[in-house]
Copies of this chain bind each other. A is one copy, B any other.
């Protein structure tokens, strides 16, 4: 996915609004880069809710738990205090035991940040990777295909 061009806002079914907090802005008057991962996490929480598997109980009910194994952020433009942004999330790739979200942060349709979050399904105790539960896979596929809308 690094090589691919990031998707425009319209490619994301899941979008979640957010206003920049004062505590998230640094002396350069821009959002400190680490806060984008907090925002990615918010977007993914909303994703699980949208597909009917709210974190953590919905995911636990499918038989696993998810741990982040990789995150990538490309910073194209800065966000500032009090701006209203959109977090955009889509499941870009489902592997055997891992999955990749494509992430974006947009302001009025302009891409500020693009990135990805890769999670692996793992046993909480042993941290051993397990195949993604079928229930999780089906819920993601249905949401992204739009077939959950009947």
- The segment from A38-46, A89-97, A103-111 found at the interface with B is A38-46
Q: How far is the CB of A105 from chain B (nearest CB, A)?
A: 13
When all copies of this chain in the complex are counted, the total is 4
In the complex, whether A123 has a CB less than 8 A from a CB of chain B is no
From B35, B41, B75, give the contact of A22 (CB < 8 A): B41
Tell me, in angstroms, the Cα distance from A56 to B56 when the chains sit together: 24
- Whether the Cβ atoms of A29 and B28 lie closer than 8 Å is no
Contact with B along A17-29 (1 / 0, CB 8 A): 0000111011111
Distance in Å from the Cβ of A34 to the closest Cβ of chain B? 3
* Contact A41-B34, Cβ < 8 Å, known A67-B75, A75-B69: yes
Contact A26 B26 (CB under 8 A): yes
B-binding residues in A (CB < 8 A): 2, 21-23, 25-30, 32-38, 41-42, 45, 54-56, 65, 67-75, 78, 81-82, 124, 127
